[in-house]
Amino acid sequence: MSSIRFRYLLLGGLLTAIPLVGAAAQADEPRARLDVQAEAQLEVVPDRATLNARLWERTPAVARHDDDTDADALRQARDRLEERATALIRALEEAGVERDDISAGSLSVQPEYVPAPRRSDNDHDMLMRTRLDRPFQVRVDDLERLPRLLDALTAAGVNAMDGISYDLADRDAATDEALVKALEKARHKAELIARTMGVSLGAVANISETRSPIYAPRMMAMSADARESATQAEYRPGTIVIEAGVSVSWEIEN
């Protein structure tokens, strides 16, 4: 008799547990989600620029089979280059550029080969000379001063104007703004979809970047006309586009 009663108690316990297991299984079921991807573009106007220029000097050309380097000619070329570099820096300072905004690059030395004057139809000798090159960069925080500074570089006799690189004083603020625009666009899309489909958005389940916002300085090459007549040229920085992308998931509440 006691054995039969025990079986009934055990069966009743199992029947009671079944609804609890079913409720737990329902709680573990993944909730419906709404996944949205969005991209945004931010156009920014640069507020800083860097002028790139170079000075160089050359030694006299000599026969390339001559292994002896003319140390005196090399020293004279270097002295001329350093004298011109000093004059260039002084001219920029007189134009209002702070010394910390002028960057003088390292001296580079490289051989150059030029054809020798022809002495006969079969004469193809080459001459060799040495070129000493020094780059300069000038940071400009006021873009309205660009024409004046270009005049100063031209007057100082730079050998090459390698262009203008436009930049932002605060890059992080621009990239942050692009990311915020992408997130706002994702929320707008999610709310539009939810409203149209007659559902409500719940908590945010997941957020990830699909495109990290990157700011790249914009380089503007200088034309021959601009190099020869800096006073008459116009330098418009234009705009730089920063792109950002995100993927956001919301839980759906019915």
Percent of the chain as helix, strand, coil, to the nearest 5: 40, 35, 25
* pLDDT reported for residue 224: 41
**Residue ranges with strand state E in the chain:** 33-44, 48-58, 62-63, 102-104, 108-115, 126-140, 160-167, 200-211, 218-220, 240-253
In this structure, are 52 and 85 located in the same domain? Answer: yes
Among 21-35, 63-77, 113-127, 162-176, the least confident range: 21-35
* pLDDT reported for residue 217: 77
Domain annotation covers residue 9: no
Q: How far apart are CA 177 and CA 200, in angstroms?
A: 28
Average pLDDT of the residues in 31-50 = 93
In this structure, are 182 and 71 located in the same domain? Answer: no
Q: How far apart are CA 165 and CA 220, in angstroms?
A: 6
Average pLDDT of the residues in 58-73 = 76
How many domains in the chain? 2
Average pLDDT of the residues in 12-35 = 59
In this structure, are 175 and 76 located in the same domain? Answer: no
Phi first, then psi, for residue 122 (nearest 5°) are -100, 10
In this structure, are 189 and 98 located in the same domain? Answer: no
Range of the domain at 200: 29-46+169-223+239-254
In this structure, are 153 and 181 located in the same domain? Answer: no
Domain annotation covers residue 12: no
pLDDT digits (tens, 9 = 90+) for 180-238: 999 999 999 999 999 999 999 999 999 999 999 888 777 776 644 444 444 444 567 78
Q: How far apart are CA 123 and CA 82, in angstroms?
A: 37
Asked if residue 31 lies in contact with residue 206, where contact means CB atoms within 8 angstroms, the answer is no
Domain annotation covers residue 1: no
Q: How far apart are CA 132 and CA 112, in angstroms?
A: 10
pTM of the predicted model as reported, rounded to 2 decimal places: 0.67
* pLDDT reported for residue 232: 44
In this structure, are 154 and 173 located in the same domain? Answer: no
Nearest C-alpha neighbor of 59 from the set 70, 67, 43, 46:
70
- CB neighbour class for 214 (10 Å; exposed up to 12, middle 13-18, buried from 19): exposed
* pLDDT reported for residue 81: 95
The CATH number of the domain holding residue 112 is 3.30.70.2970
In this structure, are 188 and 151 located in the same domain? Answer: no
Highest mean pLDDT among 122-131, 149-158, 179-188: 179-188
